[in-house]
């Protein structure tokens, strides 16, 4: 391998490279990161031979992310090389990383090589550190390099004052110059490299971030005992990355990124054109009120106080689709799937057989600190796996409570994007909302959300002759004629049934109904 300065001066080679690639705009090859959702955020993957920075505070997940990329791309022909400096010892790091499913012990020592540079770093001779790295790169000819990390060499002011710093610790200027030299080497070696560092946002102005081809920023946001992890592709040279912050989780499989909903709505380009086709609701009498059924691809919201049978209506909607051979996805937030399935059996369906055949998926999304993007990713994955044409969300109230506080503030906007991403593919969505307002314009977290849905059904209690009765009305259907009458309905062990209208009553909106005088 030639010297860096010589390689930089080889302008003739650079000119020939430009000429050879000028005929194709797709000459840039991307490496898969092995991180679910991250390739989409990066615009297709990690550009080959790029120099990338993984930045963020302690515990943000930088090392785990780097390990996933490393194991996803390491081969015996082009091994992966992982340099550690004064961070955790290699043995300790491997002890924890091997708990993840992406870790492959059989690759360690051949396709994946770990090099500890502590001895060279402790001497304070940064040239020796760079010399050792150059030697290992020339010896192994790696395809991917991870450097973790040189920020630990620089002691803090308190460490210097207490005498706890390394005797030969370099000053800030020398370390910065060294890291810039290292970055220059990484950009000229034909390797894909990742440099891990603990940086804060004001430090993005330093030259190192200018040299980098890609910058991934990982962070943790704490809000009222809730912690949300976020990732941002600040910079990706040569391709269009997804803008904005994307939430991610660290599970037994490593990192999983949930791209923002606006970017997931690219499926709109494949959305079917709106037709006159309808789906049956499964509730006797409701299709008649809705002008012949629910238009395919509509978002339906049913709202009412506790005990009015909202979940029963949603369950009948799901059961009707299953009886017709359609696939159905149900997202529950307020009860365990086992309880939901037990009640579904009363509607002449066998949920166990349907789940086994891939026709039904009931997912439990109750855990706190959810993000809207994570919820949508779960629902969309289930819709894709089952080929579902009906989705039930039970309920929006439980959904909001399950969200991390950071996302509750923008719940209305997020809900709009979620519904749009689902209905864009022709899926009919049935949403349940706990609402106690007497207004027909349903509210979520105090905000008007009628624009989010195509169809709105309102349920309420009224007092008639000293007793409570359940009544309902269809108050909105976008682009379709519908009944405007209030109707009684009853609920038994088989479900809900719509009854007669209440044309001879007044005061239904107030909840205190009264009989109108009979006409002479």
Full domain range(s) for residue 279? 266-449
Main-chain phi, psi angles of 502, to 5 degrees: -120, 50
Question: Which of 407, 433, 449 is at the close of a domain?
Answer: 449
371-423 pLDDT, tens digit each: 778 888 888 889 999 999 999 999 888 888 877 777 776 677 777 877 888 88
Domain-located, residue 427: yes
Same domain assignment for residues 192 and 303? no
- In this structure, are 239 and 283 located in the same domain? no
Q: Which of 36-40, 162-166, 465-469 has the lowest mean pLDDT?
A: 162-166
Write down the pLDDT at residue 264.
47
255 with 307, same domain: the answer is no
In a domain, 340, yes or no: yes
Q: Domains in the chain: how many in total?
A: 2
Q: Mean pLDDT lowest for which of 223-227, 280-284, 300-304?
A: 223-227
Give the pLDDT of residue 330. 96
For residues 514 and 516, give the distance between their C-alpha atoms in angstroms, rounded to a whole number.
6
Residue 286 and residue 368 share a domain: yes
148-152, 444-448, 495-499: least confident range: 444-448
Average pLDDT over the chain reads 81
Banded model confidence at residue 509, pLDDT cuts 50, 70, 90: low
In this structure, the answer to whether residues 340 and 213 fall within a common structural domain is no
Residue of higher predicted confidence among 451 and 446: 451
Q: Identify whether residues 221 and 329 lie together within a single domain.
A: no
Calpha distance 129→113 (Å, rounded)? 17
- More confident: 251 or 266: 251
366 confidence band (pLDDT: 50, 70, 90): low
167-204, pLDDT tens digit by residue?
A: 445 566 777 778 778 888 887 888 999 999 888 777 77
Same-domain pairing of 280 and 248: no
Whether the CB-CB separation of 290 and 477 falls below 8 Å is answered with yes
Do both 273 and 234 map to the same domain?
no
Considering the domain architecture, whether residues 320 and 405 belong to the same structural domain is answered as yes
Residue 181 inside a domain? The answer is yes
Which of 119, 121, 62 minimizes the C-alpha distance to 93? Answer: 62
Residue 455 falls inside a structural domain: no
Peptide bond into 251 cis (omega under 30): no
Q: Is residue 358 part of a domain?
A: yes
242 with 94, same domain: the answer is yes
Q: How confident is residue 368, by pLDDT bands cut at 50, 70 and 90?
A: low
Q: Is pLDDT of 340 > 60?
A: yes
User: Distance between CA atoms of 277 and 301, rounded to whole angstroms?
Assistant: 19
Residues 161 and 254 in one domain: yes
Question: 445 is written with which tokens?
Answer: 């977290």
Each residue of 203-259: pLDDT tens digit? 777 777 888 899 999 998 776 667 789 999 999 999 999 988 899 999 999 999 998
- Nearest of 72, 70, 174 to residue 126 by alpha carbon: 174
């Amino acid at each position: 391998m030639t010297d860096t300065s010589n390689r930089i001066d080889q302008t003739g080679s650079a000119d020939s490279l430009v000429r050879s690639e000028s005929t194709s705009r797709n000459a840039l090859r991307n490496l898969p990161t092995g991180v679910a959702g991250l390739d989409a955020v990066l615009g297709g993957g990690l550009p080959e031979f790029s120099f990338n920075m993984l930045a963020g505070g302690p515990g943000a997940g930088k090392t785990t992310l780097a390990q996933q990329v490393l194991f996803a791309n390491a081969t015996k022909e082009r091994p992966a090389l992982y340099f550690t400096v004064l961070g955790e010892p290699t043995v300790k790091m491997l002890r924890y990383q091997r708990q993840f499913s992406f870790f492959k012990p059989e690759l360690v020592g051949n396709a994946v090589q770990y090099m500890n540079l502590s001895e060279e770093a402790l001497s304070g001779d940064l040239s020796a550190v760079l010399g050792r790295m150059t030697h290992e790169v020339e010896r192994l000819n790696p395809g991917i390099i991870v450097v973790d990390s040189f920020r630990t060499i620089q002691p803090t002011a308190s460490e210097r004052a207490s005498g706890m710093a390394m005797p030969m610790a370099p000053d800030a200027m020398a370390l910065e110059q060294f890291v810039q030299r290292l970055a220059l080497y990484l950009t000229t070696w034909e390797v894909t490299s990742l440099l891990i560092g603990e940086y804060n946002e004001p430090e993005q102005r330093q030259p190192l971030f200018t040299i980098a081809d890609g910058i991934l920023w990982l962070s943790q946001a704490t809000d009222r005992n809730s912690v949300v992890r976020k990732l941002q592709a600040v910079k990706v040279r040569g391709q269009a990355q997804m803008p904005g912050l994307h939430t991610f989780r660290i599970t037994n499989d490593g990192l999983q990124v949930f791209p923002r909903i606006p970017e997931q709505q690219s499926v709109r380009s494949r959305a079917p054109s709106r037709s006159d086709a309808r789906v049956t609701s499964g509730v006797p009498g409701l299709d008649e009120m809705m002008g012949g059924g629910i238009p395919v691809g509509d978002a339906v919201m049913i709202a009412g106080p506790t005990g009015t049978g909202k979940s029963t209506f949603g369950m009948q909607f799901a059961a009707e689709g299953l009886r017709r051979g359609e696939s159905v996805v149900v997202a529950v937030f307020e009860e365990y799937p086992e309880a939901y399935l037990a009640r579904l059996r009363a509607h002449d369906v066998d949920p166990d057989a349907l789940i086994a055949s891939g026709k039904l998926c009931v997912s439990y999304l109750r855990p706190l600190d959810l993000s809207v993007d994570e919820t949508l990713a779960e629902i969309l994955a289930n819709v894709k796996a089952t080929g579902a044409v009906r989705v039930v969300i039970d309920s929006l109230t439980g959904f909001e409570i399950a969200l991390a506080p950071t996302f509750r503030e923008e719940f209305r906007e997020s809900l709009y994007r979620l519904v749009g991403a689902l209905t864009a593919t022709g899926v009919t969505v049935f949403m349940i909302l706990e609402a106690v307002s007497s207004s027909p314009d349903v509210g979520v977290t105090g905000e008007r959300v009628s624009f989010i849905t195509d169809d709105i059904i309102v349920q309420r209690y009224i007092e008639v002759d000293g007793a409570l009765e359940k009544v309902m009305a269809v108050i909105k259907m976008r682009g379709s004629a519908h009944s405007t009458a209030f109707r009684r309905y009853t609920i038994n062990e088989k479900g809900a049934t719509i009854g007669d209208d209440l044309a001879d009553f007044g005061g239904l909106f107030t909840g205190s109904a009264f009989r109108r005088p009979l006409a002479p």
